[in-house]
A and B are shown apart, each in its own frame.
Chain A
């Protein structure tokens, strides 16, 4: 298990992290979401020893990450970092060697990863000559080339075209299947939803939600029911007990049901008004969950009071 446990960090009076904690199982992918400045990068930098937490620690297989075990972590920093004038192949070999591979194994691994990420032809190019997308691939290859036991990637998908995103996603899934725990941060929530087994949402230095996307949906109270009954008189749904009308426009209503309300009762009521052309639970997207989770707590409380 990769465990982030009770991380606190402040710069002066500014509290960046206030008890961030989550765990990532081997072979699972953890998507790390949060608004800009929520503390995602700081959390990852603490794991890599690039920032010191005021308290808390990051553990891998039950032991705090230290110099030695960090060499078995593949890391991709938020601000990309490569030697601009070094050739791709040499650069990958160098990073592999820094992670402890011997010369021959490092050269083989560099060649292998350059090939796998579609950089085979550019192995002898200098990094500064490559397109941004290709530089990104080199950066990922630099994280993967040492056959890491753990992957920590800060915004790996930013700046990639759709083909690049697919290639990167495939590479990460492959690592996952091989048993590597993968943590990555992203603002592309559709990607996180598609790829990740578990999601953590960070807001104001705390984890406001974490778990599988399913769990988050279930935990988020009040799923929405959309009913389209074209012939219904306005206000038909308000009469059904346990139903709150979220929106209503020309027979198209969005309803929120109380805990013990049977959706079939709602359907029966709708049918009594005439034809029903649409009746379905609307699954909250991760975007909605995210908005809900990072929303200011004061506003959220106010809305809940209105609902009650």
Chain B
């Protein structure tokens, strides 16, 4: 008899199972389409931000006569109001009106440095009016002061002390965290479902008997969860790289360091959340033998996941509220609530540490008890298995 292959260790078996899961999913249309949709959404959000940013903040202002004094003043005022002002020279009043009517410019200033300045706009625009009158009066004021022999530097200057220096950056990080949590929630649901469907498929097609003749239940479970987990991580990382890269390239965010930090934490919490929920889903799925029965056993775990998602969205508006603080420690809810709190910058290091430890304890418990349920229920193909029966006959 020819020699069979060398006996496989746990590592090799788990890798084989994981590789099969990955290659099966990579050819699965549902997976490919959902991945494409998620990428499109992220790209869409980016493009939307870029269009919003560039479209609304630019103003072209026509100026008759000499724009040497008024031009820089208009630009300076624009900067104060957050507008990007471009000054265009126009020949005279008639040309200015034509330029406004043909939408060549947004507004035109006639005789801006003279005694009787006039602003021509298509329709009343308070921002532009404030911008232009500010610029015109500052030029006039400068001239009057110069004529009176006062140097502009003698005027008192206002110095600014911001009490909350990071508020704008905080807001941006919170938005990133919310986008991250939406992704994290969808991917945990998606990949948790994949794990659950895989377990039921193996049970309903009875292929599990052949598999368990070559490996232990925990090796099968580990291979499945790790394989799909790696795929999910690759997907969320790809989305993160494209999102962050795009945001930096198009200048949508101001503080790159904060953005990268927040994204990093979302990835970290994805890993913990996936580990917990994928195990829960797998164990629940092992109790039934038909895909039709799957929804009912997955409901409790899905509900926890949904509550976490809901609280996280709430926490974004009130990150230091009691609800957000308490739930950010509860295993199962923490992967979604904690990144939002962290992004808002309201969390001490020990709080994060505690939430992580609690989550790890929960994962260890689910894997240990769940592993027994899984192995006990896997070979029972008659209808629905009760958890207690499965625990009794488990052989992890």
Contact = CB atoms under 8 A, between A and B. Distances in A.
A79 B381 contact: yes
Nearest to B212: A50
A136 to B, nearest CB: 13
A83 B201 contact: yes
A242 interface: no
B207 A99 contact: no
A2 to B, nearest CB: 13
A170 B4 CA distance: 22
Interface string B318-343: 00000000000000000000000000
Contact of B8 (A75, A77, A100, A149): A100
Contacts of B381: 79
A59 interface: no
Given A67-B216, A94-B16, A98-B214, A81 B4 contact: no
B348 interface: no
B212 A49 contact: yes
A11 to B, nearest CB: 10
A84 B4 CA distance: 27
Nearest to B198: A83
Chain A interface residue number, banded:
35 or more
Contact of A86 (B6, B16, B24, B206): B24
A77 B210 contact: yes
Nearest to B210: A81
Contact of A82 (B207, B215, B395): B207
A81 B207 contact: yes
B206 A80 contact: yes
Contacts of A73: 213
Interface string A193-234: 000000000000000000000000000000000000000000
A94 B213 CA distance: 14
B7 interface: yes
Contacts of A122: none
Contact of A77 (B7, B16, B206, B216): B206
A97 interface: yes
Please report whether the interface of chain B is mostly helix, strand, loop or mixed according to DSSP.
loop
Interface string A64-107: 00011011110101011111111000000011011111100100
A189 interface: no
A148 interface: yes
Contact of B7 (A81, A84, A100, A142): A100
Nearest to B17: A98
B214 A84 contact: no
Contacts of B7: 68, 71, 100
Interface string B341-356: 0000000000000000
Contact of B5 (A48, A81, A102): A102
A187 interface: no
A52 interface: yes
Residue in A71, A84, A86, A98 whose Cβ sees the most chain B Cβ within 10 Å = A98
B6 A100 contact: yes
A98 B15 CA distance: 10
Contacts of A85: 24
Interface residues of B, number: 28
Given A52-B395, A81-B206, A94-B16, A70 B5 contact: no
A85 B211 CA distance: 16
B163 to A, nearest CB: 61
A146 B212 contact: no
A99 B5 contact: yes
A104 to B, nearest CB: 11
A28 to B, nearest CB: 14
Given A52-B395, A97-B16, A98-B13, A71 B8 contact: yes
Contacts of A102: 5
B214 A179 contact: no
A198 to B, nearest CB: 20
Contacts of A75: 209-210, 213
A99 B214 contact: yes
Contacts of B5: 99-102, 105, 146
A271 B4 CA distance: 65
A180 interface: yes
A82 B1 contact: no
Interface of B: 1-2, 4-8, 13, 16, 20, 24, 201-202, 205-216, 379, 381, 395
25 contacts: A49-B212, A49-B213, A50-B212, A50-B213, A51-B379, A52-B395, A70-B214, A71-B7, A75-B209, A77-B209, A77-B210, A81-B210, A82-B207, A84-B201, A98-B8, A98-B214, A99-B4, A99-B214, A100-B4, A100-B5, A100-B7, A100-B8, A102-B5, A147-B2, A179-B1
Interface of A: 45, 48-52, 67-68, 70-73, 75, 77, 79-86, 94-95, 97-102, 105, 142, 146-149, 178-180
List the 6 closest A-B pairs by CB distance, nearest first. Answer: A100-B5, A81-B206, A81-B207, A77-B209, A79-B206, A101-B5
Given A67-B216, A79-B209, A79-B381, 19 more contacts: A45-B209, A48-B213, A49-B213, A50-B212, A71-B4, A75-B209, A77-B210, A81-B206, A81-B207, A82-B207, A84-B201, A84-B205, A86-B24, A94-B20, A98-B211, A99-B4, A142-B210, A147-B1, A178-B1
